[in-house]
Structure 1
Amino acid sequence: MINIASVSLTQPLETIADELGRSFGEYGFAVVRDHGIPQTLIAEAEAVSKAFFALPDAVKRAYKIEGGGGARGYTPFGTEKAKDAEVFDLKEFWHVGRSLPEGHPLAEFMAPNVWPTEVEGFRETMSALFSAFEVAGGRVLEAIALHLGRPRNFFAASVEDGNSVMRLLHYPPLGEGAPEGAIRAAGHEDINTITLLLGAEEAGLELLTKAGEWHAVDVPPGALVINVGDMLQRQTNGKLRSTTHRVVNPRGEASRRARYSMPFFLHFRPDFLIEALPECVAADTANPPPEPITAHDYLMQRLREINLA
């Protein structure tokens, strides 16, 4: 039995910071209730997401951006593979990123968004959800900062205009033609700072414990699953864990249903230098910190490993 923290963001951050931090240190995961993202907005986003994935394959593929590394628009079924995996994941997805004004100094790192004209309200709904995710993510980062003994606004500058991405995920019903051994999402770690996941109520999400055992992540309806990404693990020199996780194939009746979810990958600014915090580096050098690297260079390195760049 694992004991992942489950907290409400209506509580003062000072009272939940260490509970969240301990959970991130042990499991890399926590569950957040009362996160402030309106349920009406979530329902609208689910509806327009399902409407897009129901479009004909040729229509969806018209939004695949060649050479873009999947950063914007549509990524077809059979494209992404987990690092070191031999077969692709059983999923397709759409990415919404940050919209920057022309001439912004970070515009070279973030391509403009594309929007499907076939789905009414897609742009407005997803833009609103992106903004709501950012607010919720900022609150979680404030709690993490307090746990680390830093001022609550410690992460604000490093994620301002960050290269965050919202992913709309569709796992089709399982059927003929899938490669042997393929699952909906093979074991992997997230690249970014923290991930906020909506739509994890349906069984399938599992994390790998320090003991090497897979455990299901149980999520109350409407809650967010939060997990630490590799960038934050790197900055904290492993004090907070980027845990291997996966989405396994369902059995029985559930295998004939599609699964939908919406993760938000909160990123540092592309020009932010990720280097270990002094308080996370042990004096005995038993766990030496990794070399500093910019968030953009690290992202590109990792995207190549998962077949997206």
Structure 2
Amino acid sequence: MSDIASVSLDNPLEDIARELGDSFAEFGFAIVRDHGVPDDLIARAEEASRAFFALPEETKRAYKIAGIGGARGYTPFGQEQAKDAAIFDLKEFWHVGRDLAPDHALAEFMEPNVWPAEVPEFESVMRELYDSLEASGRRVLSAIAIHLGEDRHFFDSTIEDGNSVLRLLRYPPLPEDAPDGAIRAAPHGDINAITLLLGAEEAGLELLSRKGEWLPVSPPPGALAVNIGDMLERLTNGRLRSTTHRVVNPAGDAVRRARYSMPFFLHFRPDYLIDPLPSCVADGEKENAPEPILAHDFLMQRLREIKLV
């Protein structure tokens, strides 16, 4: 395969599973069209996101919650740092997570959401977007299951009440006093199972190929860029790649513009044991396959590495 696949989720999953899976195996990325998230919902969410980030710094910082690693609410500019990076990323963001009843068996793993009172429509539109992206992600995972030779519903139970997070991202205009070498998002891999990204149409997102070349990821307007995360790479014993990717700084007039995007990090249930699938472990590979680990333990390990906890 020479190019990142671009598939329509309107097609039968059996028809796109191989092309999608091959793209994830080679690049770790695919472009997904006709994903089911309505255009008007995306537009409303973008408007609400911009409205929040336009608030005064003091107002935004009132929604920063100490001691939870940025799991909910606001994370200010200059806070997150990619694994092994020496400099913080040039971004700020907001996290929306799953709501669980206090007596739910997994409630201890998920913080309650907070909502900015200054943007009245924020809560309703972000809840709607969260649910819509999760439904799209479930369909992508069904195609992946078919590609792996599993039942198409294999992943349904693994993500039921999972610790998935919708991130609203703002990369400000490049500050003149940014540290040398700082970029909008330093090279990193995602922690979760799969990521569905809205807002990658603007240039900047790049993946690192097997040949060590940085390749642009440029979906058409309204399409999703979908990539494999570390959890799914681990589950498939590396058969599907969690590819290193980055967001580079712009040039020209774009230097003076902010960049916005909305990634949805689809996670397994915190109590799901990530144990490499037998179908992905060939004879003689078992000794070198990753050790089983609970999804929550893996998440916390990685959050410590990126200095959020």
Code of the aligned partner of 1:119: V
**1:94 positional shift:** 0.1
Taking the aligned partners of 1:287 and 1:70, their CA distance within structure 2 comes to 36
Code of the aligned partner of 1:264: F
What secondary structure, in the 3-state scheme, does the structure 2 residue paired with 1:226 have?
strand
The number of aligned residues is 309
Taking the aligned partners of 2:89 and 2:50, their CA distance within structure 1 comes to 19
What secondary structure, in the 3-state scheme, does the structure 1 residue paired with 2:288 have?
coil
**1:101 positional shift:** 1.4
What secondary structure, in the 3-state scheme, does the structure 2 residue paired with 1:237 have?
coil
What secondary structure, in the 3-state scheme, does the structure 2 residue paired with 1:225 have?
strand
Code of the aligned partner of 1:280: C
Code of the aligned partner of 1:131: D
Q: Judging changes above 3 Å, is the alpha-carbon distance between structure 1 residues 275 and 56 closer, same or farther for their aligned structure 2 residues? A: same
**1:189 positional shift:** 0.1
Code of the aligned partner of 1:3: D
1:269 match: 269
Taking the aligned partners of 1:287 and 1:207, their CA distance within structure 2 comes to 30
1:208 match: 208
Deviations 1:239-272 (A, max 9, x none): 0000000000000001111000000000000000
Deviations 1:267-294 (A, max 9, x none): 0000000000001112132882110000
Code of the aligned partner of 2:184: R
1:55 match: 55
1:91 match: 91
Code of the aligned partner of 2:238: G
Code of the aligned partner of 2:126: M
Alignment of structure 1 residues 174-213 onto 2, 5 Å: 174-213=174-213
**Structure 1 consecutive aligned stretches of length 4 or more whose deviation exceeds 2 Å:** 284-287
What secondary structure, in the 3-state scheme, does the structure 1 residue paired with 2:254 have?
helix
Taking the aligned partners of 1:154 and 1:286, their CA distance within structure 2 comes to 22
Taking the aligned partners of 1:217 and 1:125, their CA distance within structure 2 comes to 27
What secondary structure, in the 3-state scheme, does the structure 1 residue paired with 2:234 have?
helix
1:218 match: 218
Taking the aligned partners of 2:144 and 2:12, their CA distance within structure 1 comes to 13
**1:102 positional shift:** 2.1
**1:175 positional shift:** 2.3
TM-score (norm 1): 0.99
Q: Which moved more, 1:173-182 or 1:45-54?
A: 173-182
Q: Judging changes above 3 Å, is the alpha-carbon distance between structure 1 residues 287 and 178 closer, same or farther for their aligned structure 2 residues? A: farther
Code of the aligned partner of 1:10: D
Alignment of structure 1 residues 18-37 onto 2, 5 Å: 18-37=18-37
What secondary structure, in the 3-state scheme, does the structure 2 residue paired with 1:151 have?
coil
Taking the aligned partners of 2:243 and 2:290, their CA distance within structure 1 comes to 18
What secondary structure, in the 3-state scheme, does the structure 1 residue paired with 2:263 have?
strand
Q: Judging changes above 3 Å, is the alpha-carbon distance between structure 1 residues 286 and 39 closer, same or farther for their aligned structure 2 residues? A: same
Q: Judging changes above 3 Å, is the alpha-carbon distance between structure 1 residues 122 and 53 closer, same or farther for their aligned structure 2 residues? A: same
1:133 match: 133
Structure 2: segments with no counterpart, 5+ residues: none
Code of the aligned partner of 2:87: V
Taking the aligned partners of 1:160 and 1:259, their CA distance within structure 2 comes to 32
Taking the aligned partners of 2:253 and 2:44, their CA distance within structure 1 comes to 26
2:123 match: 123
Taking the aligned partners of 1:118 and 1:286, their CA distance within structure 2 comes to 54
Alignment of structure 1 residues 24-173 onto 2, 5 Å: 24-173=24-173
Q: Are the counterparts in 2 of residues 281 and 288 from structure 1 also a CA contact under 8 Å?
A: no
**1:130 positional shift:** 0.2
Q: Are the counterparts in 2 of residues 281 and 287 from structure 1 also a CA contact under 8 Å?
A: no
Q: Are the counterparts in 2 of residues 232 and 240 from structure 1 also a CA contact under 8 Å?
A: yes
1:250 match: 250
Taking the aligned partners of 1:191 and 1:11, their CA distance within structure 2 comes to 29
Taking the aligned partners of 1:221 and 1:176, their CA distance within structure 2 comes to 30
2:4 match: 4
What secondary structure, in the 3-state scheme, does the structure 1 residue paired with 2:14 have?
helix
Code of the aligned partner of 1:201: E
Deviations 1:10-56 (A, max 9, x none): 00000000000000000000000000000000000000000000000
